[in-house]
Amino acid sequence: MGGTKALAALINSNKGIIARKKVATGTGKDAAEYLKSLSGIIKDIVKEYKLKDEQIAAVCVGVAGSVNPHSGVITFSPNLGLKDFNIKEALGELIPYPVLIENDVNLGALGVKYYGLGKNARDMLAVFVGTGIGAGFIFDGKLFRGANFAAGEIGHIKVEEGGPLCGCGNHGCFEAVASRTAIDREIKKELKKGEKSILKEFAASDKQIKSKVLANAVKKNDKLATKHLTRACKTIGNVLADITNLLNLDLIVLGGGVIEALDKFMMPIIKESFYKNALPTSSKGLKILATKLGDDAALYGGIPLAEEFLNIKV
Ligand SMILES: [Zn+2]
């Protein structure tokens, strides 16, 4: 579930993604409208592939925000404009299948663990860098959710005392310094001051500079883009080193638009600052890799989610 669109896939562990569909959902401010488009896309797929109701084991919904996967309540999703909303019940009234929910980043981590680079990992962190920075933890092969199902909010680790304002209201959070939004903000700030760059058209633009545009700028040795991306990478490496010193993980997987578009540039810098700051005993044997699963990571995460909550094989 996104704020303005939903992406759906028909999926099982045998064939992977069998079909996918995208639908515009409106703003997400009207829950009834939103659910109608969501149930519509599900019914369309079932109809198109001539599936029987009993062939659908579950509908797994990924939500940007905090959720309770047991009760099916979206506790708070600013993107969707939903608060304390039981989507399991509400969507369950519109479709004849069990509805499961999970935070979208957690779903992504599950996807990476079971269908991506994490297959052989026991203790893994999946980090997604985009508009914000989120992470999902796998401990001992299982998703770690925390007491209030809010584990993995690494985007709000404080990295800069008195730093830039974060969406959460605090200053100097990791994502306020190293997300794509932060890179975009810093580049534009310097463009406004007259700094030379091939990105100069963005100086007065409300649009975020896309990852592909950043990648192109780096390819052309644009100093401004290179400077701010390098800064973000160093911060990412430092935070991942802190987490590794704390948890002694065996795998860190990085994903999200900016990493996927710029992995060749970003990963070496991230790794350099990581190994400079991680303790040798904590980082020994650890792998840091970039996923190529993209949005599909969260889609794949639906399979282990259904298997966990319904105790079935999908
Ligand atoms: Zn924050």
- Cα of 1 to ligand 1 centre, how many Å? 22
pTM of the complete model: 0.94
Residue 141: the pLDDT is: 94
Residue 236: closest CA among 255, 217, 220? 255
- Cα of 259 to ligand 1 centre, how many Å? 20
Sign of dihedral through CA atoms 199, 169, 174, 130? negative
- Cα of 131 to ligand 1 centre, how many Å? 12
- Cα of 164 to ligand 1 centre, how many Å? 10
User: Taking a C-beta distance cutoff of 8 angstroms, is the pair 259, 290 a contact?
Assistant: yes
pLDDT along the chain (314 residues), means of 10: 85 94 75 88 93 95 95 91 93 97 97 96 97 96 96 96 95 97 96 95 92 97 98 98 97 96 97 98 97 92 97 93
The Cα angle at residue 178 between residues 22 and 145, in degrees rounded to 5: 65
- Cα of 181 to ligand 1 centre, how many Å? 13
- Cα of 133 to ligand 1 centre, how many Å? 10
Amino acid letter, residue 294: G
- Cα of 218 to ligand 1 centre, how many Å? 28
- Cα of 268 to ligand 1 centre, how many Å? 26
- Cα of 75 to ligand 1 centre, how many Å? 18
Instruction: Tokens for 124, please give them.
Output: 């893994």
